[in-house]
């Protein structure tokens, strides 16, 4: 097997698209080398070495040593230097490089190959003894820390003492002989701490560093980072070994970082900074003020330090040509690192640059207009989720944030506010003009007023289709759901996570686009729609062929969600808790009025576009009252004794409400519910039909159907009601009756259901739940583990499972269309707003996807992408 890939001298074994094997850094170093950019030669130990290492008790594959040896020889011949040589020594850096960048999480060793012999050669070659011994000193310290595990303060004591002795404050004021002595004391520390000598043999150093990098994949920092950023453990890291170049050998040396375009606005302007006579770390550390690259930037920032364009005009020109070469090659904005050693430019890294959402759109539009990419490529280059960021406030990318917990990114946008633990408190504080974040273990319809009053919602339990997630998305409130590491104590009005405690009134910020929770106020930036947004949406609409987003129709009216608030939930509860038909009809009469009003308004707004109204599907546990006060309200409204309500509520408790008495099952038991809803819909249709030019298109949808008989029975009730309304009102209207397919049995029966149903709408939330046998409400607690272990790649409630649910959909489509060839079919689960799922739907040949309003532009872009 091939474990080692080399690069340098215009050649490379690897390529940019081999990130999984070589890590991001290694893959791009290979790519840059092969397109002839000045990359210091080196080689990459693949991520498969890492996997092998962990699967085999920290043993390397047996061919590895030989392959490293060979690759090292190649670096020696490419640089004309030799590892450990006493006149012309090769020094290398050893760095980690995973598929996804994990800044600062894993270990790095620089200047490797220095020892008592090679340091003299370095001194002679550079003509700078101070530089040589300073590099040596840093190397011994870094290696001892990273590889040998000796605490840094052991060395820092000696450094302080050396400065005291010399009577200076800064490290750089030490003389070469001071540094030489320091190296000796550092090595003595190693001897004392470990009982063995610091390794002088460069090969031993190399293997030590390689092992340390692989080991650092499992250090606590890296583990935490991975769990916060959804990076699976089994990916492993690669290790890059590369010839050292020095930006700190004098004033003809420098080091810098740049973006090929402005990452915050997207403007086509070279953007970056550099430091003369410095190492990469110095730029990041921010000890010295970096200089601008261009004269233009220097002038616009009013800096009095000269730009690279001025101090090293030749290098600057070369860098400009690298910039355009990289953009032409990668067809994307790049984030680069470079070093200038004694007047020669070296490229140390390139990767697709991180950018703000507005910048991403600007860059895509500009690059298409510049002819660098096609319009299609521009559309494909944008992650549809990015659109979310444009429509919602986002965290200021420059702001510092300390993430204390991570949950599911349930509803996009960022928000901060004072923590409250109850909906009532949220409303109270909101009335006083305070901004609040509502924190609940989970939410129910009782919390709706709080969800509405709050800036954002955080729950510790529940998945992407939990109540909080679905409702927050519908309201456009940011939501982080199922942040399981947080413990909420309602009684004490506080939450704890690890060692952090947050009490009511303290400030918390959540980022619903990323699922992050932060203590304190993190500044946000308001959504901004630029001209490039319009351009992208226009290009997207030119190519997509799936229909019915937003203004093109409503794919799912969840009627139970219309009864969440105020008096409405009381009437709804009265209906659910009624013990006989008379009581139920009394409540239904109230609901009829509200329902008719809502639907009339919807038909008006939709102006002849189809509106799919789903019959009630209330999971009972979301609606049964829990507190005495709530029960009292219901008792009063119904005019029955409180005790009866209490008893009935207890009776209705279910062990598995999501699989319980919900959906069409409710209407099967109580057909008068179906009758009321049908009446509301048809009376609304009659009224709007009478007064508007365009006739309403009513589609009545029956949820959670498992058998043909269920649909048959309810279809009968609906049709009978339609006929009655037509007769009463003396007007005709058209309508369709369809069914949701969201249970495997319904999928199997799709052929027969299609005899009766005029359309199918696939409820992929319940379908996922029942196909996987995975509770929508509980899966959030263990799915992250499944992701980390690579058992599932994505949360199936977020991204439609193509092999299971997708297969069933395909089958249902075929069976349905074999009965009724032109049948309209689409999905209405939460997956309708997820780009990857939309692609699956496009492939299956669905007619439309439906999603919450705020995700419509996301869906437009995703539909265009899957049509391309
Ligand atoms: C579904 O199950 O996918 C669906 C749309 O219905 P709900 O989420 O309301 O159960
Ligand atoms: Mg459903």
pLDDT at residue 304 in the model: 84
Confidence of residue 542 (pLDDT cuts 50, 70, 90): confident
pLDDT of residue 550 exceeding 50? no
CA distance 295 to 569: 65
Ligand 1 mutation target, pool 704, 740, 769, 800, most atoms within 8 A of CB:
740
Let me know whether 333 and 420 are in one domain: no
Residue nearest to atom 8 of ligand 1 (CA): 765
Residue nearest to atom 10 of ligand 1 (CA): 766
Let me know whether 369 and 347 are in one domain: no
- Share the mean pLDDT of the chain: 91
Mean pLDDT of 837-856: 81
pLDDT at residue 854 in the model: 62
Q: Residue ranges for the binding site? A: 558, 614, 742, 763-766
Asked whether residue 296 is domain-assigned, the answer is yes
CA distance 627 to 618: 19
pLDDT of residue 287 exceeding 80? no
Q: Provide the β-strand partners of residue 271.
A: 259
- Who has greater pLDDT, 551 or 678? 678
pLDDT at residue 81 in the model: 96
CA distance 675 to 714: 9
Q: Residue ranges for the binding site for substrate? A: 558, 614, 742, 763-766
Q: Point out the ligand 1 atom lying closest to the alpha carbon of residue 831.
A: 3
Q: 199: helix, coil or strand?
A: coil
Asked whether residue 308 is domain-assigned, the answer is yes
Is residue 35 within 8 Å of 329, Cβ to Cβ?
Answer: yes
pLDDT at residue 286 in the model: 59
pTM score, two decimals?
0.67
What interhelical angle do 202-216 and 64-79 show, nearest 10?
Answer: 120
Which residue has tokens 């012309």? 88
Q: Tell whether ligand 1 has an atom less than 6 A from the beta carbon of residue 450.
A: no
CATH of the domain at 368: 1.10.189.10
Asked whether residue 789 is domain-assigned, the answer is yes
Mean pLDDT of 833-862: 80
Of the candidate ranges 12-16, 170-174, 670-674, 773-777, the one whose mean pLDDT is the lowest: 170-174
Is residue 466 within 8 Å of 483, Cβ to Cβ?
Answer: no
Confidence of residue 767 (pLDDT cuts 50, 70, 90): very high
Confidence of residue 549 (pLDDT cuts 50, 70, 90): very low
CATH of the domain at 273: 3.30.470.20
CA distance 808 to 743: 10
Mean pLDDT of 827-834: 86
Cα–ligand 2 centroid distance for 578 (angstroms): 24
Determine what percent of the chain is predicted with pLDDT higher than 70: 97
The Cβ-side half-sphere exposure at 60, using a 13 Å CA radius, reads 19
Q: Tell whether ligand 1 has an atom less than 6 A from the beta carbon of residue 558.
A: yes
Let me know whether 539 and 549 are in one domain: no
CA distance 532 to 210: 46
Let me know whether 297 and 405 are in one domain: no
Q: Residue ranges for the binding site for Mg(2+)? A: 742, 766
**Catalytic residue from among 158, 467, 561, 831:** 467
156-160, 502-506, 864-868 — most confident range: 502-506
CATH of the domain at 480: 3.50.30.10
Domain count, the chain: 4
Tokens coding 162: 């050396």
DSSP at 246: -
Mean pLDDT of 613-641: 89
β-strand 108-112 against 414-420: which pairing, if any? unpaired
Let me know whether 464 and 404 are in one domain: yes
Let me know whether 752 and 814 are in one domain: yes
Asked whether residue 477 is domain-assigned, the answer is yes
Q: Point out the ligand 1 atom lying closest to the alpha carbon of residue 558.
A: 9
Q: Tell whether ligand 1 has an atom less than 6 A from the beta carbon of residue 765.
A: yes
CATH of the domain at 551: 3.20.20.60
Is 467 in the active site?
yes
pLDDT at residue 238 in the model: 97
In degrees, rounded to 5, the angle at the alpha carbon of residue 746 between the alpha carbons of residues 743 and 752 is 170
Let me know whether 404 and 424 are in one domain: yes
Asked whether residue 92 is domain-assigned, the answer is no
* ipTM for the predicted complex: 0.96
Mean pLDDT of 541-553: 62
pLDDT at residue 284 in the model: 61
pLDDT in tens, 208-232: 999 999 999 998 888 888 877 778 8
pLDDT of residue 349 exceeding 80? yes
77-91, 407-421, 623-637 — most confident range: 77-91
Q: 17: helix, coil or strand?
A: helix
Q: Provide the β-strand partners of residue 736.
A: 699
pLDDT of residue 260 exceeding 90? yes
What interhelical angle do 531-543 and 357-369 show, nearest 10?
Answer: 60
Q: Tell whether ligand 1 has an atom less than 6 A from the beta carbon of residue 742.
A: yes
**Catalytic residue from among 674, 828, 841, 851:** 828
Torsion sign, CA atoms 655, 660, 666, 670: negative
Let me know whether 678 and 778 are in one domain: yes
Mean pLDDT of 705-723: 98
Confidence of residue 693 (pLDDT cuts 50, 70, 90): confident
Q: Tell whether ligand 1 has an atom less than 6 A from the beta carbon of residue 761.
A: no
Q: What are phi and psi of 24, to 5 degrees?
A: -60, -45
Asked whether residue 815 is domain-assigned, the answer is yes
CA distance 832 to 841: 9
pLDDT of residue 88 exceeding 50? yes
Let me know whether 474 and 327 are in one domain: no
Let me know whether 436 and 287 are in one domain: no
Buried b (16+ CB within 10 A) or exposed e, 556-572: bbbbbbbbbeeebbbbb
What interhelical angle do 835-844 and 856-867 show, nearest 10?
Answer: 50
CB count in 10 Å sphere of residue 550: 18
Rounded alpha-carbon distances, angstroms, from residue 741 to 658, 697, 703: 16, 21, 8
Of 326, 341, 376, nearest to 256 by C-alpha is: 341
Ligand 1 mutation target, pool 558, 564, 620, 850, most atoms within 8 A of CB:
558
Is 301 in the active site?
no
pLDDT of residue 335 exceeding 50? yes
Q: What are phi and psi of 8, to 5 degrees?
A: 140, 160
Let me know whether 322 and 454 are in one domain: no
Q: Could you tell me if residue 126 is left (phi over 0), alpha (psi between -120 and 50 degrees) or otherwise beta? A: alpha
Asked whether residue 840 is domain-assigned, the answer is yes
pLDDT at residue 546 in the model: 58
Which residue has tokens 């990323």? 514
Residue nearest to atom 4 of ligand 1 (CA): 763
CA distance 669 to 41: 75
Q: Provide the β-strand partners of residue 96.
A: 239
CA distance 69 to 43: 11
Q: Tell whether ligand 1 has an atom less than 6 A from the beta carbon of residue 829.
A: yes
pLDDT at residue 548 in the model: 44
Of 501, 513, 330, nearest to 408 by C-alpha is: 513
CA distance 747 to 752: 10
Is residue 867 within 8 Å of 843, Cβ to Cβ?
Answer: no
Q: 526: helix, coil or strand?
A: coil
**How many residues belong to the chain?**
868
Residue-range definition of the domain harbouring residue 452? 396-522
Let me know whether 405 and 444 are in one domain: yes
Asked whether residue 51 is domain-assigned, the answer is no
Confidence of residue 765 (pLDDT cuts 50, 70, 90): very high
């Amino acid at each position: 097997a091939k474990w080692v890939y080399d690069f340098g001298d215009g050649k490379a074994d690897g390529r940019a698209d081999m990130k999984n094997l070589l890590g991001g850094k290694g893959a791009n170093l290979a790519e840059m080398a092969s397109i002839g950019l000045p990359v210091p030669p080196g080689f990459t130990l693949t991520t498969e070495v890492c996997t092998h290492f962990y699967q085999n008790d920290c043993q390397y594959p047996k061919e590895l040593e030989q392959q490293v040896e060979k690759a090292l020889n190649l670096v020696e011949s490419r640089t004309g230097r030799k590892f450990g040589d006493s006149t012309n020594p090769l020094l290398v850096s050893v760095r980690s490089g995973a598929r996804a960048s994990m800044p600062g999480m894993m270990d790095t060793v620089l200047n490797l190959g220095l020892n008592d012999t090679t340091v003299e050669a370095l001194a002679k070659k550079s003509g700078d003894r101070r530089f040589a011994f300073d590099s040596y000193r840093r190397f011994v310290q870094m290696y001892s820390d990273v590889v040998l595990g000796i605490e840094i303060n052991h060395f820092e004591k000696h450094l302080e003492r050396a400065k005291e002795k010399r009577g200076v404050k800064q490290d750089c004021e030490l003389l070469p002989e001071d540094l030489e002595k320091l190296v000796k004391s550092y090595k003595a520390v190693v001897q004392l701490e470990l009982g063995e000598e610091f390794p002088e043999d460069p090969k031993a150093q190399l293997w030590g560093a390689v092992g340390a990098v692989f080991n650092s994949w499992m250090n606590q920092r890296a583990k935490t980072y991975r769990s916060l950023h959804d990076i699976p453990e089994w990916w492993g890291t690669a290790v890059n070994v590369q010839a050292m170049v020095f930006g700190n050998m004098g004033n003809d040396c420098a080091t810098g970082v740049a973006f090929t375009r402005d990452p915050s606005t997207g403007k086509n302007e070279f953007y970056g900074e550099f430091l003369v006579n410095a190492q990469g770390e110095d730029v990041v550390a921010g000890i010295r003020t970096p200089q601008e690259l261009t004269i233009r930037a220097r002038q616009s920032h009013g800096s009095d330090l000269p730009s690279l364009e001025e101090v090293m005009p030749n290098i600057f020109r070369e860098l400009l040509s690298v910039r355009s070469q990289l953009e032409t090659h990668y067809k994307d904005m790049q984030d680069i690192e470079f070093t200038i050693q004694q007047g020669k430019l070296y490229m140390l890294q390139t990767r697709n640059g991180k950018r703000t959402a507005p910048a991403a759109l600007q860059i895509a539009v500009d690059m298409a207009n510049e002819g660098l990419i096609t319009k299609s490529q521009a559309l494909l280059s944008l992650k549809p989720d990015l659109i979310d960021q444009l429509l919602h406030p986002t965290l200021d990318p420059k702001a510092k944030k300390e993430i204390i917990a991570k949950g599911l990114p349930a509803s996009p946008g960022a928000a901060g506010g004072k923590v409250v633990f109850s909906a009532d408190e949220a409303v109270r504080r909101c009335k006083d003009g305070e901004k609040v974040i509502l924190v609940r273990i989970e939410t129910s319809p009782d919390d709706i007023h709080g969800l509405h009053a709050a800036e954002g919602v955080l729950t510790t339990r529940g998945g992407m289709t939990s109540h909080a997630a679905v409702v927050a998305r519908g309201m456009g409130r940011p939501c982080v759901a199922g942040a399981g590491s947080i413990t909420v104590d309602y009684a004490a009005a506080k939450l704890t996570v690890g060692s952090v405690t947050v009490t009511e009134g303290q400030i918390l910020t959540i980022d619903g686009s990323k699922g992050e929770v932060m203590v304190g106020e993190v500044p946000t930036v308001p959504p901004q729609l630029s001209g490039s947004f319009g351009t992208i949406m226009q290009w997207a609409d030119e190519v997509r062929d799936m229909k019915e987003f937003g203004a093109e129709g409503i794919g799912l009216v969840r009627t139970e969600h219309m009864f969440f608030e105020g008096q409405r939930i009381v009437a709804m509860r009265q209906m659910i808790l009624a013990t006989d038909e008379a009581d139920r009809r009394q409540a239904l009469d109230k609901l009829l009025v509200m329902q008719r009003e809502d639907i009339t308004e919807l038909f008006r707004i939709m102006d002849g576009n189809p509106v799919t109204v789903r019959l009630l599907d209330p999971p009972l546990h979301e609606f049964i009252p829990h507190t005495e006060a709530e029960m009292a309200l219901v008792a009063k409204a119904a005019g029955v004794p409180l005790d009866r309500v209490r008893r009935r509520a207890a009776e209705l408790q279910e062990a598995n409400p999501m699989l319980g008495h919900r959906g069409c099952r409710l209407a099967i038991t109580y057909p008068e519910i179906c009758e009321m809803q049908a009446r509301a819909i048809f009376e609304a249709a009659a009224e709007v039909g009478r007064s508007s030019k365009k006739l309403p298109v009513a589609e009545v949808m029956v949820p959670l159907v498992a058998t043909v008989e269920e649909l048959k029975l309810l279809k009968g009730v609906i049709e009978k009601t339609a006929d009655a309304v037509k007769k009463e009102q003396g007007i005709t209207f058209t309508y369709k009756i369809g069914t949701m397919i969201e249970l495997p049995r319904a999928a199997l029966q799709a052929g027969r259901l299609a005899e009766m149903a005029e359309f199918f709408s696939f409820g992929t939330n319940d379908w996922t739940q029942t196909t996987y046998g995975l509770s929508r409400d509980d899966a959030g607690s263990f799915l992250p583990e499944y992701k980390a272990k690579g058992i599932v790649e994505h949360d199936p409630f977020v991204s439609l499972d193509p092999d299971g649910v997708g297969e069933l959909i395909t089958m249902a489509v075929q069976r349905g269309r074999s009965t009724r060839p032109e049948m309209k079919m689409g999905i209405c689960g939460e997956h309708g707003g997820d780009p990857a799922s939309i692609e699956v739907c496009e492939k299956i040949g669905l007619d439309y996807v439906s999603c919450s309003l705020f995700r419509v532009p996301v869906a437009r872009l995703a539909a265009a992408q899957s049509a391309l």
